[in-house]
Amino acid sequence: MDYRFPLIEKLPPYVFAVITQYKMEARRRGEDIIDLGMGNPDLPTPDPIVDKMVEAARNSRNHRYSASRGIPNLRLEIARWYERRYGVEIDPETEAIATMGAKEGFSHLVMALVEPGTKVIVPDPSYPIHSFAATIAGCELIKLPIDQGADQMMESLRRLEYPKGQHPRLLILSFPHNPTTVTVNLDFFHEAVAIARERGYLIIHDLAYADLVFDGAEAPSILQVPGAKDVAVEMFSMSKSYSMAGWRVGFCAGNPQVVAALTRLKSYLDYGIFQPIQIASIIALRDCDEYVPEIAEVYRRRRDVLIKGLASAGWDVPTPKGTMFVWAKLPPAFAHLGSLEFAKQMIAKAGVAASPGNGFGERGEGYVRFALVENEQRIAQAVRGIKSFLTE
């Protein structure tokens, strides 16, 4: 029997899967590959979070199904986090929901808000699920170029014109931005909220890199804009700020109708995050502020080693002000190869895996993305490999 799955046919192999396959093949050949491909944090989760998880896991009361939208004390802590960090008031009952990471929350949120054919505005390039959630939900994608920065993207947004009643429904934003590392200040969000209000868009802002900003750059919450809750929700991830990637926990906060829609959909799909993880997440949000700048500092130092090293190899790449990535235009002499072939050759000849930019969208072609997920010594070793590859 030859089965056809039309939805699956719309999903090309995930960009990270393609590069993982090349990396594994090289490793099978006995090569030491420094893996800067996937943004998979390598730092340990802070001890107080792990300790709380272990303690809570020993209590059999926590072994049952939990609350799909998150236990009340976690939602309360999310509200306190918003108040403390951004001066934003969130009602823990109606304006916050825990999710199994930002990725799960985001993709189900898109599903909850659209119907087949809905127009969804997504930056290009983008973190894959930001566009594929809409594809999975049968939406029409409207792409906004972000390869030249936030101003270019805002200008394209201003110029989008649709007849009355045919406007897109959803605007996806995410700053600091993966993969381009673009950051914005609050003025950007003021204008985005004003446009959304005028045209009837809902905004989902993914703030996964809230804490990974450097050199005085800002990572504002869109909810800081007065009235933003009328048109917007925000996703946050515990994966990067607290090195909790494998734990699968994040949250969504903002517009109560949108939060209610996600809550309803998730109540059909899951029974909540394992309760010890939720309890440990309360500790993270409540007691672990001091660890966050330390984690950010590790990424900043790695960034500097990579940027300086690439420059010494004759590859000048702008220093990112946010995220855990370096977004590098292919060196001119290699531009003809294209992103994927360059990334393949970098694995084979430099022993370094990076993500080909075209995996993030058409406008990512001509770039590779390095994730700063190996230590400084390994990054220095990566740079030596890249240097000999570029100068061979």
Residues at the site binding ligand PLP, with contacts judged by CB under 6 A: 39, 101-103, 127, 174, 178, 206, 208, 237, 239, 245, 250
Q: How many other β-carbons are positioned within 10 Å of the β-carbon of residue 186?
A: 13
Note the Cα 272 to chain centre separation in Å.
Answer: 21
CB 335, min distance to ligand PLP, A: 26
Q: What is the CA radius of gyration of the chain?
A: 21
- The CB-of-177 to ligand PLP minimum distance in angstroms stands at 8
Q: How crowded is the C-beta side of 75, counted as CA atoms within 13 Å?
A: 23
In terms of CB distance, is 16 or 334 closer to ligand PLP? 16
Nearer to ligand PLP, 239 or 358 (CB): 239
Shorter beta-carbon distance to ligand PLP: residue 291 or 325: 325
Minimum CB separation from ligand PLP for residue 104, in Å?
6
In the three-class reduction of DSSP (H, G, I as helix; E, B as strand; rest coil), residue 335 is classed as: helix
Minimum Å distance from CB 35 to ligand PLP? 14
Give the three-class secondary structure for 322: strand
Residue whose CB is less far from ligand PLP, 77 or 206: 206
CB of 237 to ligand PLP, least distance (A): 3
Residue with smaller CB distance to ligand PLP, 201 or 236? 236
Which of residues 243 and 350 has its CB atom nearest to ligand PLP in the complex? 243
In whole angstroms, the minimum distance from the beta carbon of 49 to ligand PLP comes to 15
Least distance (Å) between residue 178 CB and ligand PLP: 4
Evaluate whether 392 touches 349 at the Cβ level (below 8 Å): yes
Choose among 291, 211, 280, 223: nearest CA to 255.
223
Distance of CA 176 to the CA centre of its chain: 9
Least distance in angstroms from the C-beta of 40 to ligand PLP:
8
Residue with nearest beta carbon to ligand PLP:
101
CB of 145 to ligand PLP, least distance (A): 18
Nearer residue to ligand PLP within complex by CB, 237 or 358: 237
3-state secondary structure 8-54: HHCCCCCHHHHHHHHHHHHHHCCCCCEECCCCCCCCCCCHHHHHHHH
Q: 232 or 245, CB closer to ligand PLP?
A: 245
HEC states along 57-122?
Answer: HCCHHHHCCCCCCCCHHHHHHHHHHHHHHHCCCCCCCCCEEEECHHHHHHHHHHHHHCCCCCEEEE
Instruction: Give the Cα separation of 325 and 215 in Å (integer).
Output: 15
Angle, alpha carbons 319-341-392 (nearest 5°): 75
Q: Which is nearer to ligand PLP, 111 or 383 (CB)?
A: 111
Whole-angstrom CA distances from 80 to 42, 87, 286 are 28, 9, 8
**Minimum distance from residue 281 beta carbon to ligand PLP (Å):** 11
Whether omega before 176 lies within 30 degrees of 0, making that bond cis, reads yes
| Residue among 220 and 250 whose Cβ is closer to ligand PLP | 250
Name the token pair of 62: 């926590």
